[in-house]
Amino acid sequence: MQPFGLSLARACLQTLGVAVIGLGVTLGGPARAQQAPANTLDAVKARGQLICGVNTGLAGFGQPDSQGVWRGFDVDYCRAVATAIFGDPNKVRYVPTTAQNRFTALQSGEVDMMARNTTWTLSRDTSLGLDFPAVNFYDGQGFMVKTSLGVKSAKELDGATICVQPGTTTEQNLSDWARANKIRFTPVVIERLEELVSAYVSGRCDAYTTDVSGLAATRSAQPKPDDHSILPEVISKEPLALGVRQGDSRFADILRWTHYLLLSAEEFGITQANVDKLGNDPRPEVQRILGKNGGLGPMLGLSDDWAVKVIKVVGNYGELFDRTLTPIGIKRGPNALWNNGGLQFSPPFR
């Protein structure tokens, strides 16, 4: 393993003026802004379009393709909600948000919902005036290094420079973990994800830390993924959740039950390919999910067949996951269904 001395010296110069880890902003993000009216569903319907806050570009989760079309795991949640409301997945406008401005964008009404790798925490749930209707991805924070360094464990990073985004739980977790393990490090703190990854790739820092899924996405996007190693330690719990404004229960219910729909569809074997063929399925819950009886759609302010429309567009949770995240090397792990050893399950459709 090569010494970290030179990179430590470089980082000391590069990180002058950067915010120190542990400031209150890292726990909750920007100060609370004036909230938009808490009647998002009516506003969305009147506008004829859902405005969805997404990442600025993260492989597998949310980024525009070569044609400028947004694709990814979180993007498909935006499409699913638009389909539930309008029956049309294209009635979405995507607004890229950074770790620093994402909460202000939602609080102010610039976006209607947030689907962009955001951890549900107590402070965000209370002091920021936000609600988190559903955890669509269970994650944890890790570290990535250049394979050439020969580092096999995060505890070998003593004296290293570490790239991290400000205004994130990642920043505070890094500080807490280093203190608990008596690890000395120098942070390289950069807001924009693209610039942060560039700093890591160019060698401005010895390691890059974020959610393990984000590390996998970044690694997959490199010309030679094997040149980068994700270390085995996972130092936190990161329930990544959809976000809405607090007090907006009607809209929150739609996001929550759209997520539960995707899980239930996978559990009951309802897919994009067969959803139109299950009208006579004898299972009572399948009948209720598909809107054949029970009247559940109108309880959400949606049509009876809203679930059929959503599944036809994005498939079930497993199909969505396999289409967007499996290709970049992310395994189901805790995001497997409850009956397959995971944490994901839906309350009953009844």
d(CA 12, CA 187): 9
Give me the pLDDT at residue 37, please: 52
Q: What is the pLDDT of residues 31-71, one digit of tens each?
A: 444 446 558 999 999 999 999 999 999 999 999 999 999 99
Cβ atoms within 10 A of the Cβ of 348, count? 8
CA of 296: how far to CAs of 35, 118, 172, 178, 348, in Å? 30, 29, 42, 49, 11
Q: Structure tokens of 66?
A: 């070569």
Q: What is the pLDDT of residue 38?
A: 56
* 167 & 316 share domain: no
Are residues 197 and 208 in contact, defined by beta-carbon separation less than 8 angstroms?
A: yes
> Within this chain, do residues 111 and 258 fall inside the same structural domain, yes or no?
yes
Q: What is the 8-class DSSP label of residue 32?
A: P
Amino acid at 238: E
CA distance between the termini of the chain = 58
Do 16 and 155 belong to one domain?
yes
Whether 147 is covered by a domain: the verdict is yes
Is the distance from CB of 78 to CB of 37 less than 8 angstroms? no
Instruction: Report the pLDDT averaged over residues 129-136.
Output: 96
Helices (H), the chain: 5-14, 25-28, 40-47, 73-86, 102-108, 122-126, 169-180, 193-201, 212-220, 249-267, 284-289, 296-299, 306-314, 317-324
Q: What's the burial of 220, exposed, middle or buried (CB within 10 Å: 0-12/13-18/19+)?
A: middle
Does any domain span residue 350? Answer: no
Would you state the pLDDT for residue 120? 96
Does 260 lie in the same domain as 191?
no
Do both 168 and 308 map to the same domain? no
What one-letter code names the amino acid at 232? P
135 and 269 assigned to the same domain: yes
Q: Which of 236, 254, 289 is the last residue of a domain?
A: 236
- Domain of 10, CATH number, reads 3.40.190.10
Say yes or no to pLDDT of 123 above 80: yes
- 122, part of any domain: yes
Is the residue at 347 inside a domain?
no
Structural contact between residues 59 and 218, judged by C-beta atoms closer than 8 angstroms: yes
Q: In this model, does residue 23 exceed pLDDT 80?
A: no
Residue 327, pLDDT score:
95
Indicate if 154 and 128 belong to the same structural domain: no
Domain-embedded: residue 84: yes
Q: Are residues 228 and 267 in the same domain?
A: no
- Within 13 Å, how many C-alpha atoms sit on residue 302's CB side? 29
What pLDDT shows up at residue 99? 86
CB contact burial 172-191 (16+ within 10 A = b; e otherwise): bbbbebbeeeebebbbbbbb
One domain, residues 134 and 162: no
User: What are the tokens at 317?
Assistant: 């949770």
Q: Is 333 helix (H, G, I), strand (E, B) or coil?
A: helix
Residues 132, 221, single domain; the answer is no
Query: Same structural domain for residues 169 and 103?
Result: no
Expressed as residue numbers, the domain containing 89 is 37-140+239-337
Q: Are residues 20 and 154 in the same domain?
A: yes
Helix 40-47 to helix 249-267 angle (10° resolution) is 80
**How many domains does the chain divide into?**
2
Is residue 183 within 8 A of residue 155, CB to CB? The reply is yes
Q: Look up the pTM and report it.
A: 0.85
Domain termination residue (choose one: 203, 218, 236): 236
In a domain, 346, yes or no: no
For every residue of 258-285, DSSP letters joined together read HHHHHHHHHHTT--TTTGGG-TT---HH
pLDDT at residue 343 is higher than 50: yes
Amino acid, single-letter form, for residue 162 = I
User: Tokens representing 37?
Assistant: 């009216």
| Interval 199-247: pLDDT, tens | 999 999 999 999 999 999 999 999 999 999 999 999 999 999 999 999 9
Strand order in the sheet with 113-114: 92-96, 50-54, 113-114
Task: Write the pLDDT tens digit of every residue in 82-110.
Answer: 999 999 999 999 999 998 899 999 999 99
The verdict on residue 343 lying in a domain is no
Alpha helices in 190-234, H assignment, sequence order: 193-201, 212-220
Sequence-ordered list of residues with C-beta below 8 angstroms from that of 32, at least 6 positions apart, any chain: 107, 127, 128, 129
Q: For 143-171, what is the mean pLDDT?
A: 95
Query: Which segments of the chain are extended strands (E)?
Result: 50-54, 63-64, 70-71, 92-96, 113-114, 130-131, 135-139, 141-146, 160-164, 185-189, 207-211, 228-230, 238-241, 244-245
pLDDT value of residue 16: 37
The percentage of residues in the chain with a pLDDT greater than 70, rounded to a whole number, is 89
Q: Quick one: tokens of 108?
A: 């102010």
Looking at every residue in the chain, the average pLDDT score rounds to: 90
pLDDT above 90 (res 26): no
Residue 190 forms part of a structural domain: yes
Where is the domain boundary, 208, 236, 264? 236
